[in-house]
Amino acid sequence: MKSAVIVFPGSNCDRDAHDALARVTGQAPAMVWHKDGTIPPGTDLVMVPGGFSYGDYLRCGAMAANSPVVEQLVAHAQRGGYVLGICNGFQILCETGLLPGALMRNASLHFVCRPQTLTIESTNTAFTSAYAGTPTVSFPIAHHEGNYFASDETLDEIESEGRIAFRYASGENPNGAARDIAGILSENGRVLGMMPHPERAVGGHEGGNDGLGVFESLMSAA
Amino acid sequence: MPDKSTILAHLTATQDEPQGLEHGIKADEWERLVTRLERKPNLVELGIYSVMWSEHCSYKSSRRHLSKFPTKNARVIQGPGENAGVIDIGDGQAAIFKMESHNHPSYIEPYQGAATGVGGILRDVFTMGARPIALVNALRFGDPSHPKTRSLVAGVVAGIGGYGNCVGVPTVAGETQFDAGYNGNILVNAMAVGIADQDKIFYARGATAGNPIFYVGSKTGRDGIHGATMASAEFSEGDEEKRPTVQVGDPFTEKLLIEACLELMATDAIQAIQDMGAAGLTSSSVEMAASGGVNGEGIGVVMDLDKVPQREEGMTAYEIMLSESQERMLMVLFPDKIDMAKAIFDKYDLSAEVIGETTDTGHLVLTQFGQVVCDIPVAPLAEDAPNYDRPWVEPPRRAALDISKYLAPEDPGAILEKLMSCPDMASKRWIWEQYDRHVMADTIDSSQSMGNAAIVRIHGTNKALAICSDCNPHYVAADPYEGGKQVVAEAYRNLSSVGATPIAITDNLNFGNPEKPATMGYIVKAIEGMAEACRVLDFPVVSGNVSLYNETDGVAIPPTPVVGGVGLIEDLDHVATLRGAQPGDILVLVGSTEGHMGASLYAREQLGLTGEALGAPPPVDLAAEIRHSAFVRSLIQSGVVSAVHDLSDGGLACAAAELALGSGHGLTLDVGMERLGRTGGNLIPFLFGEDQGRYLLAVKAGQENRFHEMADERADVPVLMIGSVETDGANGQITFSTNVRAGEAIRVSLAQLRSAHEGWLPGYMNKVD
């Protein structure tokens, strides 16, 4: 699987994304600088990493969504390429319109970093097939704006279309997200945005190794 | 705005002693200044002298005592005197670290004060070529019932998180304590640790004449100018200069600055580099000039202040030189590298300008609007700064606490719950959940694992650094020499507990007014105690910071010399954490238990004693510390133990409680009469005494024989088989068996203990008065 990681000014999980991809796919991803970088032809997966692109100034993800590289990202998605946006990456995907809804400030108003139990809502997706038979996983979360919001009609739509990939375990919603949503898919199922960090749960550290499944699923899909 | 000639006349006007006094230059210092300069200074020059001779920059009260610290061992590459300390961690790599305070700004404006403290300490580390890999903070707040405490906690924590989270460096460990002694002066001490290749370490020293001086980072504004109000007084027509002198942090710019600097450092463009911290452009340029030259003989600097990138219009040379705007660096480049350097900073949209040149004159020469506004020799600024031998008196010795006066039949289980939920011991989850502990994906063990030290992997290897911060101000207040020893010994023990070899420390000495002989006595004796421990433990000081004048209405803070320790883990397959304890493991107490209760958590929280009545702190036997920690490390290396916890505040009972909560398993400890040994048969001192040099171990089931073999080889390390880890899971409890045969025991429910331990801080922070 050929992958690429977009690097915005203020991205800070780009190296984590790089290492997780290199480890699982056996091939280092292309690191694409937002200003003048190019997503290499033939890229299967583009990751939009976490961090504080443009310092989260104005609104999380809003400035990054207008960065030069985003045109290529949108084209990649429109071609049916896979896109994985994590944390700030999820916020950016919502700002670009590749995913519906928005991420608001956590209901607690505090940044929250903790191990988070998630339920796998569907294993019939390119990002979660490896979790067949695994109802729950634990990924680290670390965000200030993870409170997913969309209109009721939109929520009904993504729910009925099976586009909710991950939910926070019942009673453990860390940020007030509507319907406990932790990660959602695009209509074609090839764009996933999620607040939790699977790339920080690839083994050998405090995050555990439950996140490997996301990358293994993509390996078999792409 | 006044015209240029008015500004220049103002800047170059000769100053006299009263103006010196307004700048904090005392009468004797004024005389020294005029003698060395051989004339009176103008306003710009006076401003520069005042900051360079300030306590903060010159360490004039502490310098002669700081020299007592050992600063070298086989692994030290760079000790105190540069931006941060550097140690050899093998494989051609180095760990670079330092701790620094931001106490006063954090009290005035907690969010920005704490945030800029984090930003400043990160710059100290990446200035030297290191990629920062971990942040740690040591916080001290006033009494929880003090009206300002809650908002200070909220603001400081948000500020630390707001900066560290954005810049993308994990905040992996820390300590937070509360005491009425900090009501008017909170302490915010931040530590940063980075990793560099040994052949890519950059220093402030070594710049030679004829090279360009390169300014990078944020533009310069009027923030943080000391005495700006006074200096602007004659510009009374416009009062805009009198804005609050609070520095504002921009972690986004810092993140870009880190990436840009590291990118430039991968080339061979930089001859010397210094971040602009306290006293901004002044101290960075003076320090590079003073330590310049092939043999450190010093060089000169000429800078055209009109070329300094400025955020505001009409800034004077005085303001530009004294601004403490954040996220700025000063470099001396090799002349043919300017274009390449500019291209890198342009990529990150950062300001980058050549603002001057190094010279061989030994003078600091500044121009504004084409006119010289400062021309002073560099050496007197740096080397001739005052170096006081402040008078001091020996701190009074406290009598030992006679605990027998206070022993009454009490329920040790209830006491344990009370101690584990008191402000100092209660879980700080509310705080560390607001810090990103996992970015960079190398965090092996952080605050969430409740261990003695954080473990952070060295990227791409199976090695790691262990990092901790420690200080028990109650011990230091009770006996600064013995307490000072203990601070260092505890850091040594904490690093050993996770399986690391302790290498070196950074220190942050927080005290009151050094001009008071009583306070100065604590400074001197604490330093001497720490130095003794550093020497015996081969655990030198490689960097540090001194914060004095932490005093309100004439009352000083408790003496608080904080230590940040760094140790090396050669192989991550051999570490110990609290999480590792497994049902069936055997609990072993290492070290001897005398039941020392003086200055203990029990004496403070349970008996309500304060000050003199708390008695003397536990003595520290440094030779025993070495033996015990070597034994514990060898057990970890051999894979004999699954978990290790050092005993500190609250003694055996609190250590057991933390091990139980951290592992999620119940414990049984046999504390029958025949086990109490030297405590005189009293259970309370056995459970809550704070004798030093002790560890609680979980020996793996099946490894008992190996353990006994190893223990027999170290007959000089006392060990006591004291209990086991239970299999009772969610219904777990800690059982202190007082009489095994009679089935008598004190039982503490783990769920209840956890709820008390976890409940205090969120309950406090969410309370509405």
Report pLDDT digits (tens) over B346-393: 999 999 999 999 999 999 999 999 999 999 999 888 878 889 999 999
* Domain locations along chain A: 3-221
Query: Rg of the Cα trace of chain A?
Result: 16
B192 φ, ψ to 5°?
-125, 145
Is A19 within 8 Å of chain B by CB? yes
Q: With an 8 Å Cβ cutoff, are B457 and A204 in contact?
A: yes
**B439 to chain A: closest CA residue:** A13
CA gap B87, B201 in Å, rounded: 11
Q: What is the pLDDT of residue B222?
A: 87
pLDDT value of residue B239: 39
Cβ contact, residue pair A204, B448, below 8 Å: no
Strand B328-333 vs strand B212-217: parallel, antiparallel, or unpaired? antiparallel
Mean pLDDT of B317-336: 95
Closest CA to B478 of B365, B613, B332, B662: B613
- A13 contacts in chain B (CB < 8 Å): 168, 439
Query: H/E element holding B123?
Result: helix B110-126
Binding-site residues of B sit at 59, 98, 100-104, 123-124, 247, 275, 324-326, 507, 544-545, 547
Q: Where are the beta strands (DSSP E) in chain A?
A: 3-7, 30-33, 45-48, 82-86, 102-104, 112-120, 136-143, 147-149, 164-168, 181-185, 191-194
CATH level 3 topology of A3-221: Rossmann fold (3.40.50)
C-alpha A218/C-alpha A165 separation (Å) is: 14
Taking contacts as CB-CB distances below 8 angstroms, the residues of chain A near B433 are 110, 112-114
| B610 touches B401 (CB < 8 A) | no
- Helix ranges restricted to H, B675-732: 683-688, 704-713
Give dist(CA B68, CA A95) in Å, integer.
Answer: 58
Q: Please say if the pLDDT value at position A131 is more than 60.
A: yes
Stretch B213-235: mean pLDDT: 68
Given a contact cutoff of 8 angstroms between Cβ atoms, the answer to whether B623 and B535 are in contact is no
Q: Is B146 a catalytic residue?
A: no
Tens-digit pLDDT profile for residues B548-604 = 999 988 899 999 999 999 999 999 999 999 999 999 999 999 999 999 999 999 999
Residue in B with minimal Cα distance to A139: B438
Choose among B166, B252, B437: nearest Cβ to A113. B437
Q: What is the C-alpha separation between B487 and B499, in angstroms, rounded?
A: 19
Catalytic, A87? Answer: yes
Going by pLDDT thresholds of 50, 70 and 90, the confidence category of residue B230 is: very low
Dihedral, CA atoms, B176, B181, B186, B187, nearest 10 degrees?
-60
* Predicted complex: ipTM over 0.90: yes
DSSP string, B454-510: EEEEPTTSS-EEEEEEE--HHHHHH-HHHHHHHHHHHHHHHHHHTTPEEEEEEEEEE
Q: What mean pLDDT comes out for the span B495-501?
A: 98
Contact assignment for B433 to A144 by CB distance below 8 Å = no
User: Which amino acid appears at position B632 of this protein?
Assistant: V
**Catalytic position from the list A18, A76, A144, A197:** A197
Q: pLDDT-derived band of residue B58, with 50, 70 and 90 as boundaries?
A: confident
Domains of chain B (ranges, CATH numbers): 4-66+203-382 (3.90.650.10), 576-769 (3.90.650.10)
Alpha-carbon dihedral sign for residues B683, B685, B689, B691? negative
Question: What's the CA gap between B163 and B258, in Å, rounded?
Answer: 13
φ and ψ of A206, to 5 deg: -60, -20
Provide mean pLDDT across the span A88-103. Answer: 98
Share of chain B above pLDDT 70, in %: 97
Letter string b/e over residues B144-161, b meaning 16 or more CB atoms within 10 A of that residue's CB: beeebbbebbbbbbbbbb
Task: Report the C-alpha gap between A56 and B211 in whole angstroms.
Answer: 38
Q: Which amino acid is at A85?
A: G
Residue A140 forms contact with B (CB below 8 Å)? yes
The CA angle B59-B63-B69, to the nearest 5 degrees, is 130
The radius of gyration computed from the CA coordinates of chain B, to the nearest angstrom, equals 27
- What single-letter DSSP state applies at residue B310? B
Q: Residue B218 pLDDT > 70, yes or no?
A: yes
Residue A34 sits at the chain B interface (C-beta within 8 Å): no
Is A115 at the interface with chain B, CB within 8 A?
yes
Q: What is the pLDDT of residues B528-550, one digit of tens each?
A: 999 999 999 999 999 999 999 99
Task: Please report, for residues B30, B181, B563, the alpha-carbon distance to residue B187 in angstroms, rounded to integers and kept in the order given.
Answer: 32, 11, 13
Question: Residues 6 or more apart from B404 whose CB is under 8 A from it?
Answer: none
Reading the block at residue B695, the tokens are 């560890």
B235 pLDDT more than 60? no
Structural contact between residues A21 and A61, judged by C-beta atoms closer than 8 angstroms: no
pLDDT at B44 over 80: yes
CA dihedral B310, B315, B318, B320 (to 10 degrees): -10
Residue numbers belonging to the annotated binding site of B for substrate = 101-104, 123, 247, 324-326, 547
Of B547, B543, B544, B531, whose CA–CA distance to B489 is shortest?
B531
Residue type, A9: P
Token pair, residue B386, equals 């005052």
Sequence-ordered list of residues with C-beta below 8 angstroms from that of B131, at least 6 positions apart, any chain = B194, B195, B196, B258, B262
Q: Inform me whether the pLDDT recorded for B213 exceeds 80.
A: yes
Q: What do you get for the CA distance between the two ends of chain A, in Å? A: 6
pLDDT for the residue B721: 96
pLDDT above 50 for B243:
no
d(CA B359, CA A142): 49
Is the pLDDT at B118 greater than 60? The verdict is yes
B70 Cβ partners below 8 Å, 6+ apart?
A: B531, B534, B535, B540, B541
- The per-residue pLDDT of chain B, averaged, comes to 93
pLDDT of residue B227: 39
A184 vs B449: which has the higher pLDDT: A184
Give the residue carrying structure tokens 């030093």: B692
Put simply, the answer to whether B449 touches A206 (Cβ < 8 Å) is: yes
pLDDT band at B729 (very low <50, low <70, confident <90, very high): low
Q: Write out the two tokens for B6.
A: 């008015």
CB neighbourhood size of A97 (10 A):
9
Q: How far apart are CA B597 and CA B475, in angstroms?
A: 11
**What does the alpha-carbon distance between residue B692 and residue B581 come to, in Å, rounded to a whole number?**
23
- Give the mean model confidence (pLDDT) for residues B209-226: 91
Mean pLDDT (whole number) for B44-57: 90
Overall pTM surpassing 0.80 (yes/no): yes
Q: Give the distance from residue A11's alpha carbon to the nearest chain B alpha carbon, in angstroms.
A: 8
Query: Would you say B32 and B53 are in contact if contact means Cβ atoms under 8 Å apart?
Result: no
Alpha-carbon distance of B56 to B24, in angstroms, equals 12
d(CA B19, CA B21): 5
- Report CB contact under 8 Å: B168, A51: yes
Distance (Å, whole) CA B683 – CA B673: 8
Instruction: Identify the closest residue of chain A to B348 by CA–CA distance.
Output: A9
3-state secondary structure of A139: strand
Task: Look at A54 and B250 and tell me if their CB atoms are within 8 Å.
Answer: no
Chain A residue numbers with beta carbons less than 8 Å from the beta carbon of B446 are: 206
Asked if pLDDT for residue B717 goes beyond 60, the answer is yes
The minimal CB distance from A206 to the residues B165, B435, B448 is found for B448
> Using beta carbons and an 8 Å cutoff, which residues of B are at the interface with A?
158, 161-162, 165-168, 250-253, 255-256, 347-349, 432-446, 448-449, 457, 572
**In this predicted structure, which of B405-414, B486-495, B498-507, B578-587 has the lowest mean pLDDT?**
B405-414
